[in-house]
Amino acid sequence: EDQVTQSPEALRLQEGESSSLNCSYTVSGLRGLFWYRQDPGKGPEFLFTLYSAGEEKEKERLKATLTKKESFLHITAPKPEDSATYLCAVQAGTGNQFYFGTGTSLTVIP
Amino acid sequence: NAGVMQNPRHLVRRRGQEARLRCSPMKGHSHVYWYRQLPEEGLKFMVYLQKENIIDESGMPKERFSAEFPKEGPSILRIQQVVRGDSAAYFCASSTLDMLYFYDTQYFGPGTRLTVL
């Protein structure tokens, strides 16, 4: 069964303290892996798409990487405004569905 | 370019009533997905539609739930005879297929929060 697991569930960082979020997946024929940011009471905001192992994408303090089994979202020198829930989703090669993880809730303390 | 629009943002219904949730995709997008999100849970796929076609409804409950995406107008998610367990945030996403890489990047709306009393 296709599955997406994110860890940790929650992460508290001091401002400037870099860290990484993990997304492990087991799907048949990965077509794409997606990272989103979700603020309370809002819809997910698209961040990155990765589609092959070894690919990396960057945006401001965020960098996403992909291997054959997992993806990491690296956060460098985070700021309080980076506080949000970060969601990972995958699309398998044989279907139309996107499978979402339950997210990592990030809190950055000033 | 306006993003994905959903309305209403909040909807309160009593048990047994009908709920209609609307989604207008981003301009140029012809694919619409509906998801349900319960507190402390991930987004759960419900249905995938293209204009006038239901492509995949494998995540939709068999009874009381239906979805459509007409040639003109927004996509509608309809829940008949709502029960308390239907209370959740419902999100719509739209996409356009990237023919080079064959993947769809989905852009989400702000969601409709349904409360069933």
Q: pLDDT tens digits for A34-77?
A: 999 999 989 999 999 998 899 999 999 999 999 989 999 999 99
User: Within a 13 Å sphere around the CA of A72, how many CA atoms are in the beta-carbon half?
Assistant: 11
More confident residue, B55 or A18: A18
**A13-41, pLDDT tens digit by residue?**
999 999 999 999 988 788 889 999 999 98
Q: Would the CB atoms of B42 and A101 count as touching at under 8 Å?
A: yes
Q: pLDDT-derived band of residue B69, with 50, 70 and 90 as boundaries?
A: very high
Mutate one of B5, B7, B30, B108 to test the A interface: name it (highest A CB count within 10 A): B108
CA-based nearest residue to B4, from A34, A84, A99, A46:
A46
Ramachandran category for residue B73: left, alpha or beta (phi over 0 → left; psi -120 to 50 → alpha): left
| A59 exposure class (CB count in 10 Å sphere: 0-12, 13-18, 19+) | exposed
Residue-wise pLDDT for A77-104, tens only, equals: 999 999 999 999 998 766 677 889 999 9
Interface test with A, best of B43, B104, B107, B114 (most A CBs within 10 A): B43
Q: Would you state the pLDDT for residue A91?
A: 86
Q: In this complex, do B110 and A42 lie within 8 Å of one another by their Cβ atoms?
A: yes
Residue A52 near residue A61 (C-beta atoms within 8 A): no
> Contact A4/A101 with Cβ under 8 angstroms?
yes
Question: What pLDDT is stored for residue B98 in this prediction?
Answer: 64
Model confidence at B101, in pLDDT bands (50, 70, 90)? low
Q: Are A33 and B106 in contact (CB under 8 A)?
A: no
Closest CA to A91 of B39, B45, B68, B30: B45
What is the reported pLDDT for A94?
65
